[in-house]
Amino acid sequence: MDLHQPVMTAVDLGCSSGKNTLFFVSKVIKVLGHDSDEKSRCNPVELQFFLNGLPGNNFNHVFRSLERFKESITARHKENTPLPPFYIAGLPGSYYTRLFPRQSCHLFHSSFCLHWRSRVPAGLEEGGREYLNEGNIYIAKTTPAGVAELYQRQFQNDMLLFLKLRYEELVLGGQMVLTFLGRKYEDIYNNGYLNHPWGLLARSLQSLVEDVRKP
């Protein structure tokens, strides 16, 4: 990626709203600050960060923490290297839609978000009454093969759409850093340690629903 440019746009897709929200931002600033040469120090690249989340997410905590973040990162930065100018903005919207103009972004980052589907797979509810994956919130041992295929097809469609959209938005030579869960085995029912916690969560939710229904 060419760092000798006036403005660099970096995006955190599906950002969190907790203490680690600005971790990605701080790392990019740190790397560019350390890797800047004599030429770029005289005319440093300006960084534009977009923190993306769904419209229903509460960005208030993030915005309130920005001033404290700027003070902290300025204090930690080495005096002999200039701190790159940076600007941070919130961007509501689904990453399964176009978010930016064509070829306008240099770096996309997403951490443990891409396992969320864009929608519930069509056909999971039969006749509007019978839930085909009843009792589960994940692919479990009791999940019918047809339901697993619906989820696989939805994942393929979502991932292809995601990559197509980001391809349109990335500049030539732009990069993506994507971190998400995957399976070690082709057998979808053999997901090791992941099946157990989701099974416990499903039973906990069922217990809550049953308690609410009690007269």
Residue 190: how many other CB atoms lie within 10 Å:
11
Q: Is the pLDDT of residue 117 over 70?
A: yes
What pLDDT, on the 0 to 100 scale, is given for residue 168? Answer: 98
**For range 86-111, the mean pLDDT:** 96
Band (pLDDT 50/70/90 cuts) for residue 207 is confident
172 close to 104: Cβ distance less than 8 angstroms: no
Q: Across the chain, what does the average pLDDT equal?
A: 84
Look at residue 19 and give its three-state secondary structure: coil
Helix, strand, coil shares, percent, the chain, to 5: 40, 20, 45
| Residue-wise DSSP of 139-166 | --TTS-HHHHHHHHHHHHHHHHHHHHHH
Q: What share of the chain has pLDDT > 70, as a percent?
A: 86
Per the listing, tokens 């770029």 go with 40
**For range 73-90, the mean pLDDT:** 81
**For range 98-125, the mean pLDDT:** 90
- Cα distance between residue 181 and residue 168, in whole Å: 25
What pLDDT, on the 0 to 100 scale, is given for residue 10? Answer: 97
Per the listing, tokens 């290297």 go with 81
What pLDDT, on the 0 to 100 scale, is given for residue 110? Answer: 96
**For range 135-147, the mean pLDDT:** 82
CATH number assigned to the domain covering 1-93: 3.40.50.150
**For range 70-83, the mean pLDDT:** 77
Query: For the ranges 58-72, 91-105, 150-164, which has the lowest average pLDDT?
Result: 58-72
- Phi (first) and psi of residue 142, to 5 degrees: -90, 0
| Residue-wise DSSP of 38-100 | HHHHHSPPEEEEEEEE-TTS--HHHHHTHHHHHHHHHHHS-TTSPPPPEEEEEEES-TTS--S
Q: Please give the model's pTM, rounded to 2 decimal places.
A: 0.83
Q: Which two tokens stand for residue 144?
A: 């019918």
- Cα distance between residue 48 and residue 132, in whole Å: 45
- Tell me the per-residue pLDDT of 44-69, one tens digit each, with 9 for 90 and over: 789 999 999 999 888 888 888 899 99
**For range 192-201, the mean pLDDT:** 71
